[in-house]
Chains A and B, each alone.
Chain A
Amino acid sequence: MGNTKKYWKGLDELNDNPAFLKQRENEFNEYVPVDKFLSDTNAMEESSTSRRDFLKFLGFSVTAATLAACETPVTKVVPYVVKPEEVTPGVANWYASSYFDGHDYCSIIVKTREARPIKIEGNPFSKITMGGVNARVQASLLSLYDSDRFFGPVNGKGSEMTWDKADAAVKTGIENAVAAKKDVVLLSSTIISPTTKAAIAEFTGKYGAKHVTFDSISYSGMLMANKNSFGQAVIPTYNFDKASVIVSFGADFLTNWVSPIEIAKQYSKTRKISKEKKEMSKHIQFESILTVSGANADERHPVKPSEMGAYVTALYNKVAGGSLPVSKKINDQAVAETAKWLMDNKGKSLVVCGSNDVNIQLVVNAINQSLGNYGNTIDINTPNYSKQGIDEDFVKLVENMRSGNVGALIVYNCNPVYTAPAKLKFEEAFAKVATKVSLATRSDETTALCDVICPDHNFLESWNDHNPRKGHYSLQQPTITPLFAAPRFNGSRQAQQSILKWAGNDTDYHTYLSNNWKAMFNNAGDSLTYWNQSLHDGAMYVEGVGGTPAPARKDDAKHDHKAVAAAAPKKESKEESSDMPKIDLSAAAAKIAEAKGGEMEVEFYESTAMGNGVQANNPWLQELPDPITKITWDNYITMNPEDMKGKYNVLERFDQLEDEPDTAAVTVDGFTLQDLPVFPQPGQAMGTIGIALGYGRTNSGKAAQEVGVNVYKTVQWTNNSMQYTANATVAKGKGTHPIACTQTHHTMMGRDIVKETSLMAWMNDAGAGNEHETIIHKGKATDPTEVNLWDSFDRPGHKWGLAIDLNSCIGCGACVVSCSAENNVPVVGKTEVRRSREMHWIRIDRYYSSDMSKAVGKKEGKGKIETYREMEHPSTANPRVMFQPLMCQHCNHAPCETVCPVLATSHSGEGLNMMTYNRCVGTRYCANNCPFKVRRFNWFNYTGNKNFKDVNPAMDDIGRMVLNPDVVVRSRGVMEKCSMCVQRIQAGKLVAKTQGRKLVDGEIQTACSQSCPTNAIIFGDLNDANSEVSKWHANERNYKLLEETDVRPSVGYLTKVRNTVMEEEGEKAEKNEGEKKEEKKEEKEHS
């Protein structure tokens, strides 16, 4: 029966009342007596509503209606329904955790705001990284908020699937492989987590699977050499802080080699000098490309890669009195001098080598052994576990895959399609594997070829533990609920959890971890307290054996890490050094002597920003200028300008938009890398080129796309390890390629911007090299601060300031990324950098020394114009390199403040130069009048302009979550600059105030000072005479930039001191003496 119910408004309608029907036609069903109203002229005339009033009402109602119709944008703030106990809106929580991506290890603390990680800092409790953190670890925060992450499991066709289906697919694949008697292999980069290893062991145990380790940057050569020398394939622990002489053969230990954060910390200790500590290490570097370590060296010798072995052998001959064959012509004097330094400092020296050739490493081991460095500066008994990959295993695996013996391959934290050399033809072999599973968090070259992708959590969402070194443990804890845990996503799952699941163990990984932890430290008393304390500290050191740990961690020592350090096993290692096996070198030396050099040799290196390329999709790192070349968003060929002459356009002072470098094609062993721009690199060894690894990603997200060329393809497989040097042919390519460089002028033009002196000169006179500027006032040379145009003010409270030790600054750029993260500094991309519009609030200027100076010009009878022109060119052969971090100098006579017409920039009572963004109209006058050029202008709306959607993380909803809520995101058209992290100052003061006490020196840290791995930047109160910063400002080495302009910066720099003899010093002394003589003459004349 059809439902034909009808409803009536009333009886009238039901009865079809004609009156009702008529009325229904009318819109207004009541009679409106308009006619009557209008015809009543009397009433109308008497009415007070005139025509004017009527129009007013009409106008008002229309306007009101229109305005009401305008919708104001609604931003929804959803309050907590049930507030988590530990979260107080506006108050940050810090969690200790760890970072390890298979390459860099760092113990970190994570700052979270409203349960959202927004900043990473170093964990001072760690005995390895000691509170240090580098640019890559800093920037890794952004990988959490990468909008290119997988939202859930994905199948080979790229469509999403549920976890059940994914697990089923993986299990079927594995079972099929097992059934077909084929190998099941888990391929990963180095794993230092004992619990992850346990999980993997369960998995491999269940299926008889294999675990192969393949590191993108291989240390196989060193591992094999150490196995040969000491019977253990491990990397030792290096104690750079105990070394008085450091000799490096191509090892860029300050930013890349083995454990760069730790080494930079140790190294800086040997470079800091004071009245109390007058010793400084001597650092000698032999290398072909100009690395950060080479730039910091006291002596640097450019050497071709093929000659490196010869140099090492020659040094061995000198040091150990050997007579190994040296087949190449080498700089004997340099070797002899180096040998002398080493011999004078036996047991206090350190020789390191970046080569991955087992033979060279063997000789290096022998040198260190004969110098007695084992047990002192090198601790072989405390192995570093962070590099475990043996290349041979991987090559064998690829062969197995090619012959069809591998049925299932699970790729974890590893991207072999991208990092395997072209010669291995990995892709071809990979295609023969029936089931290819990836555990990657976001798409990469390998996932593109996989059948199932089971996305891992980001490290900030995961539980884990790490054992980076014998006896050293650290925990990793989630600092945020997994981003894609919402029901609308399938979500990611921790890789260990997946592995356990496939192994048939359904235990939650967190429980698995804590159980495992309990098992490892079972005799440590109350295991819960132990676990909680470890989790709180993040990193810990336990005495005793490290391999299968069952150690006694002394609970009373849990915060007294010094005590633990004192108890470190020193004695046993000394014993060890005496009964070390004698290393047999004849075979190795013969192999070394065989090495053939080429007319052109190439070295592939890790760039400071990009490292091994894992984080290529990280715009912070892409825009971090390389410490040496200052180039962003590219890799390129570095070539000595002398080598370029006649072949390529030598653009020493290239203008960002006009000139583009020529390109070249590099052919190595039959494989050609096309279209790499050729960049003139002073200090590059003649006949060599360098190209950075980690670029040329093809399938890794929007920021990394089309940036650079992948040179992993040409890594060489020789002597059973991956070699990062090769002979190459370089041919001129087609056309040019634009590059974006943040610094296009490379010399100081004879200005005293970075002041430097030699150790000898400084020992004689603490103020050496730091002659203060004077101005002529009333006919007398006067200190500029004595002449004052302005009224002075009392600064009774705090007066914030910074001090920067140019001797400790290694130029690594950690501060730059830290500042960007803390202060929401926008990333602007390559095109804008090419327009000189990068937004970094802190930059590190890098200067090269020049062969020409005013004194030289005068001596050679050159004109002023010619002299200046030649001063623009850096020395090409082997320039001295200077680094200088430059942020807003917070001038006390700030030139920017006086010129702003609307007072948008002004001085605070605490000595800060402040920006009021809301008041800024954007005349840019302040930026013009800033002698340091540290002010940055918002040329575009960087958070809304779609031109920046690929580069600026703040452009998408996920990326925006990284923004620090304490710092305003600046709008288009306003000026911005370093605020000395005023938000941190305010927060610090507030804490002290609520606790009713005075601020403690060092309690407040700016982002740059906190993140500096070498403690080169100190922040504090200049009004407090006992503060560290005041002490640095009172140091004889302290100077202010552009003193003669009398802008009176609040930032002081400490003169750089080199442990070497400097040519210019003679000149300067001559000049000074000349001036003194003249002065005396004048005085005589006056009298």
Chain B
Amino acid sequence: MQHESAIREPLILGHKTYHDITEDIARPIEGRANKYWYLVFTIAVAAWTWGIGCLFYTIGTGIGAWGANKTVGWAWDITNFVWWIGIGHAGTLISAVLLLFRQKWRMAINRSAEAMTIFAVMCAAIFVTMHTGRPWLDYWLFPHANQFGSLWVNFNSPLLWDVFAVSTYFSISLVFWYTGLIPDFATIRDRAVKPMSKKIYTLLSFGWSGRAKDWTRFEEVSLVLAGISTPLVFSVHSIVSMDFATSIVPGWHTTIFPPYFVAGAIFSGFAMVETLLLVVRKVLNLEHYITVKHMEYMNIVIILTGSMVGVAYLSELFISWYSGVEYEAYAFLNRATGPYWWSYAGMMTCNVISPQLYWFKKLRTSLTFTFVLSIVVNIGMWFERFVIIVTSLHRDYIPSSWTMYHPTWIEIGIFTGTIGMFFTFFLLFARVFPVIALNELKTILKVSGESYKKEAAAHTHDHH
């Protein structure tokens, strides 16, 4: 058994037994939802339905229903795509990278974070598949056997790598998430009383028996998947950033993009995890498992990644001046002082200045402040993508083509719809899936549980 230093704060508060953990985490699944859940769920489904309506309208009439134009070919669509993909980054980072680094605090949050990843990537997929002029032909982006003649895809195009990266990321994340869920489903199955739910959870748990052999395999698979996922965490957003970095658009053509995009993604992903978990712990009474300490850890990641993003912004500015390239220099000057200055100002305030407030311990351990800031960060990250995409395109090389971009109600509707879809899925997830990896959590109860830690401390004290 592992030992943990006494001065480390416990990760499970109060006096909990293994059974208590099972009880606490199974409660929302076995109990009934309150009216607030139904209220929020209704709103989410309504937003989603509206989004679907807007999407159908778009498919019916054409991408002209959106606001993009001859100069600004991508706008809200790709902004939202990159934003959602970014949000989807925290889950796999938490489950894979932190697993490899043996960070035990991940156990309370990884399940929800992974769920969030899956849902966010689904939202992102809506934008990336629907932004094309003829979405019914999107499958041409996959290299597939066909009878169109000797047609193949263009391996030079970063958009193609994007297709590979995102689809791989989605499938691996899904498998990883599901693998982790198997023992927990088994626990729920064992407790289920109603025949229907018993049947369902039996199916879902893939015949998990809880034998040592099962556990060994489980851990092996987890490790292997973590090994596969870790590079993906870095590759997905690097490749997304290459859509921009390999182009010749001033403001896009930047070698700093891959690391900067990854840092930004983790930044926004963690913020979204915080937003969700702060609500979940309250509503599902999981304050003992998802503690202030967890939030603090995440806030530290946010300071780190936020600062990286800040450094990236500043070096971009510096390079634009230092390069002496007219177009590059103007692109950045235009970001900051042009007609879209407000989005740049929003991005700078939300992403660079606000996370620095977490240097104060008081603020980073304040849950209310964290909640507010987690939303601010995601607003800032949305602006970042908007700034990169729209303000770079709207004034590029030839001034005669410079123009402005205005979103339409249709694309605002679709964006709202994806938020609705995201929350619909998440709310359903919170009702029927164990939101915390309960079996994994049990492994640290004796090491990091508050009462055990106190006991151990008293014990050690006795020895002296």
Contact = CB atoms under 8 A, between A and B. Distances in A.
Interface stretch (A47-55, A149-157, A921-929): A921-929
A485 interface: no
A938 to B, nearest CB: 7
Contact of B68 (A748, A884, A924, A931): A924
A919 B159 contact: no
A1041 B399 CA distance: 13
Contacts of B157: 898-901, 925
A902 interface: yes
B246 A919 contact: no
B152 interface: yes
Interface string B152-184: 111011111001000000000000000000000
Interface string B132-162: 1110011011000000100111101111100
Given A924-B74, A940-B62, A973-B133, A655 B333 contact: no
Interface string A745-761: 10111110100000000
Contact of B404 (A656, A743, A869, A973): A656
A974 B133 contact: yes
B57 to A, nearest CB: 12
The list of the 7 closest CB pairs from A to B, nearest first, reads A922-B133, A973-B133, A939-B64, A924-B73, A836-B69, A845-B400, A933-B401
B152 A903 contact: yes
A922 B339 CA distance: 28
A656 B154 CA distance: 36
Nearest to A872: B399
Nearest to B327: A751
Contact of A925 (B134, B159, B400): B159
Interface stretch (B274-282, B308-316, B342-350, B390-398): B390-398
Contacts of B153: 901-903
Interface in A387-444: none
A900 B154 contact: yes
Contacts of A127: none
Contact of A933 (B151, B326, B398): B398
A658 B406 contact: yes
Given A898-B157, A933-B71, A748 B399 contact: yes
B248 interface: yes
Nearest to B321: A864
A929 B403 contact: no
B443 interface: no
B337 interface: yes
B243 A925 contact: yes
A921 B141 contact: yes
29 contacts: A657-B404, A751-B399, A837-B69, A843-B400, A864-B333, A865-B337, A868-B334, A868-B337, A898-B154, A899-B159, A900-B159, A902-B141, A919-B148, A920-B133, A921-B134, A921-B137, A925-B243, A925-B247, A928-B74, A931-B397, A933-B397, A933-B401, A939-B64, A973-B62, A974-B134, A1041-B398, A1042-B398, A1045-B397, A1047-B248
B70 interface: yes
A744 interface: yes
User: Main SS of the interface on chain A?
Assistant: loop
Nearest to B325: A1044
Interface string A1029-1056: 0000000000001100101000000000
Given A656-B403, A921-B134, 15 more contacts: A655-B406, A745-B402, A846-B400, A868-B330, A899-B156, A899-B247, A901-B163, A922-B63, A922-B133, A929-B249, A933-B396, A935-B70, A945-B61, A973-B62, A973-B133
Contact of B70 (A658, A838, A941, A1042): A838
Interface of B: 61-64, 67-74, 131-134, 137-138, 140-141, 148, 151-154, 156-160, 163, 243, 246-249, 326-327, 330, 333-334, 337, 339, 393, 395-404, 406
Contacts of B402: 744-745
A895 interface: yes
Nearest to A923: B132
Nearest to B406: A657
Contacts of B337: 865, 868-869
Interface of A: 655-658, 743-745, 747-751, 753, 832, 835-838, 843, 845-847, 864-865, 868-869, 884, 886, 895, 898-903, 919-925, 927-929, 931-933, 935-941, 945, 971-975, 1041-1042, 1045, 1047
A940 B72 CA distance: 16
Contacts of A745: 395, 399-403
Contacts of A747: 399
A900 B160 CA distance: 8
B399 A749 contact: yes
Given A901-B154, A902-B140, A929-B249, A1042 B134 contact: no
Given A657-B406, A895-B247, A922-B63, A868 B333 contact: yes
A895 B246 CA distance: 10
Q: Considering residues A929, A941, A1041, A1042, which has the most beta carbons from chain B within 10 angstroms of its beta carbon?
A: A929
A945 B60 CA distance: 10
Contacts of A864: 333
A975 to B, nearest CB: 8
Contacts of B401: 743, 745, 932-933
A869 B339 CA distance: 11
Contacts of A921: 132-134, 137-138, 140-141
A815 to B, nearest CB: 16
A864 B246 CA distance: 28
A658 to B, nearest CB: 7
B393 to A, nearest CB: 6
A973 B131 CA distance: 10
A899 B246 contact: yes
A920 B138 CA distance: 10
Contacts of B327: 751
B152 to A, nearest CB: 7
Nearest to A747: B399
A1069 to B, nearest CB: 20
Contacts of B131: 923-924
A744 B70 CA distance: 13
Nearest to B392: A928
A1041 B406 CA distance: 29
Contacts of B399: 745, 747-749, 751, 753, 847
A445 to B, nearest CB: 34
A901 B138 contact: no
Contact of B326 (A751, A835, A903, A971): A751
A951 to B, nearest CB: 14
Contacts of B61: 940-941, 945
A271 to B, nearest CB: 23
B71 to A, nearest CB: 5
Contacts of B159: 899-901, 923, 925
A869 B333 CA distance: 10
B133 A928 contact: no
A884 to B, nearest CB: 8
B241 to A, nearest CB: 14
Contacts of A971: 134
A672 B131 CA distance: 49
B404 A938 contact: no
Contacts of B63: 922, 937, 939, 973
Contacts of B247: 895, 899, 925, 928-929
Contacts of A945: 61-62
Contacts of B395: 745
A780 to B, nearest CB: 15
A743 B71 CA distance: 11
Contacts of B72: 836
Given A837-B70, A868-B330, A941 B248 contact: no
Contacts of B134: 920-922, 971-974
A936 B73 CA distance: 10
A924 B134 CA distance: 11
A655 B339 contact: yes
Contacts of B158: 899
A504 to B, nearest CB: 58
